[in-house]
Amino acid sequence: MAEKGGEKLLCQNKKAYHDYFIEETHEAGIALEGTEVKSLRLGKGNLKDSYVLVEEGQAYLHNTHISAYPFAHQFNHEPERVRKLLLHKNEIRRLTGKTHERGYTLVPLKMYLKRGKVKVEIGLAKGKTQYDKRESLKKRSADREIEKDMKGPKGRY
Domain ranges of the chain: 3-151
CATH, domain 3-151, list 2.40.280.10, 1.10.10.410, 2.40.50.140, 3.40.50.920: 2.40.280.10
Q: Tell me, what's the pLDDT at 112?
A: 95
What confidence score (pLDDT) does residue 4 get? 63
Task: Give pLDDT, residue 80.
Answer: 87
pLDDT at 19: 87
Q: What is the pLDDT of residues 86-112, one digit of tens each?
A: 999 999 999 999 888 888 999 999 999
Report CA 49 to chain centroid distance, whole Å: 10
Give the pTM.
0.79
pLDDT at 77: 85
State the Cα–Cα distance between residues 81 and 66, nearest whole angstrom: 9
Smallest CA-to-CA distance from 96 within 123, 57, 50 is with 57
Q: Show the low-confidence residues of the chain (pLDDT under 70).
A: 1-5, 154-157
Q: How far apart are CA 18 and CA 125, in angstroms?
A: 11
**For position 95, what pLDDT does the model report?**
92
Q: How far is it, in rounded angstroms, from Cα 55 to Cα 61?
A: 11
